[in-house]
Amino acid sequence: MAGPESAREAALRALVEIDKRNAYARQARDRILDNVDLAMRDRAFCTQLIFGVTKHRKTIDHIIETFSTRPVRKMDPVTRNTLRLGVYQVAYLEQIPRHAAVYECVALTKKYAHIGSAGFVNAVLRSVLGNPDAIRFPDFAEDPVSHISLKHSHPEWLVSRWIRSFGREETARLCQANNEEPSVTIRTNTLKITRDALILKLDHEGFGAVPSHLVDEGIVLQNTGCLFSHALYSSGMFIAQDIASMLVSHVLSPKPNEYVMDLAAAPGGKTTHIAQLMGDRGQIIACDVHEHRLALIRENLQRLGIISVKPMLCDSRRLPDNISAMKFDKVLLDAPCSGTGVLRRRADLRWQRTNEDLKDLVALQRELLESAARLVKPDGVLVYSTCSIEPEENSELISDFLSEHPEFSEEYAQPYLPAGFRMEFPEQGKPFVNTYPHTHGIDGFFIARLTRI
| Average pLDDT for 211-234 | 95
Res 1: pLDDT: 43
Question: Would residue 349 count as lying in a domain?
Answer: yes
**415 and 269, same domain (yes or no):** yes
Question: Would residue 169 count as lying in a domain?
Answer: yes
Average pLDDT of the chain, as a whole number: 95
Neighbour count for residue 104 (Cβ, 10 Å)? 21
**422 and 331, same domain (yes or no):** yes
Helix axes 7-21, 40-55, angle to 10 degrees: 40
| Average pLDDT for 276-296 | 96
pLDDT category, 4, cuts 50, 70, 90?
Answer: low
CA distance 166 to 205: 43
**289 and 359, same domain (yes or no):** yes
Question: Would residue 2 count as lying in a domain?
Answer: no
**386 and 250, same domain (yes or no):** yes
Per-residue pLDDT of 57-96, as tens digits, reads: 999 999 999 999 999 999 999 999 999 999 999 999 999 9
Would you please indicate which residues are annotated as catalytic (active-site) residues? 387
| Average pLDDT for 42-46 | 93
Question: Would residue 139 count as lying in a domain?
Answer: no
**293 and 332, same domain (yes or no):** yes
Instruction: Give the CA distances from residue 397 to residues 52, 264, 402, in Å, rounded to whole numbers and listed in that order.
Output: 34, 18, 9
Of the listed ranges 231-235, 246-250, 423-427, the one predicted with least confidence: 423-427
Please report which helix (H) or strand (E) contains residue 435, including its range: strand 433-435
**333 and 433, same domain (yes or no):** yes
**413 and 297, same domain (yes or no):** yes
pLDDT category, 49, cuts 50, 70, 90?
Answer: very high
By C-alpha distance, which of 122, 32, 52, 34 is closest to 83? Answer: 122
Res 381: pLDDT: 98
Strands 408-411 and 445-452: antiparallel
What b/e readout covers 304-323, taking b as 16+ CB neighbours within 10 angstroms?
A: bebebbebbebebeebeeee
By C-alpha distance, which of 77, 73, 55 is closest to 64? Answer: 73
**188 and 331, same domain (yes or no):** no
Q: Is the pLDDT of residue 171 over 70?
A: yes
| Structural domain range at position 148 | 144-178
Per-residue pLDDT of 125-143, as tens digits, reads: 999 999 999 999 999 999 9
Question: Would residue 353 count as lying in a domain?
Answer: yes
CATH of the domain at 420: 3.40.50.150
With a CB cutoff of 8 Å and minimum separation 6, the contacts of 12 are: 1, 4, 78, 81, 82, 85, 108, 112
Neighbour count for residue 74 (Cβ, 10 Å)? 9
> Helix/strand/coil (H, E, C) string of 367-378?
HHHHHHHCCEEE
Helix residue ranges, H only, 209-242: 231-234
| Domain tally, the chain | 4
| Average pLDDT for 237-264 | 98
For the chain, the first-to-last Cα distance in angstroms comes to 63
| Average pLDDT for 236-264 | 98
**54 and 119, same domain (yes or no):** yes
CA distance 443 to 353: 18
**276 and 361, same domain (yes or no):** yes
Res 115: pLDDT: 80
Res 451: pLDDT: 98
With a CB cutoff of 8 Å and minimum separation 6, the contacts of 74 are: none
In percent, how much of the chain has pLDDT > 70? Answer: 99
**52 and 89, same domain (yes or no):** yes
Please report which helix (H) or strand (E) contains residue 331, including its range: strand 328-334
| Average pLDDT for 290-319 | 96
pTM attached to this predicted model: 0.94
Res 2: pLDDT: 43
Res 403: pLDDT: 98
Res 144: pLDDT: 98
CATH of the domain at 225: 3.30.70.1170
| Average pLDDT for 438-447 | 97
Find out whether 451 and 409 touch, Cβ atoms under 8 Å.
yes
Per-residue pLDDT of 345-381, as tens digits, reads: 998 999 999 999 999 999 999 999 999 999 999 999 9
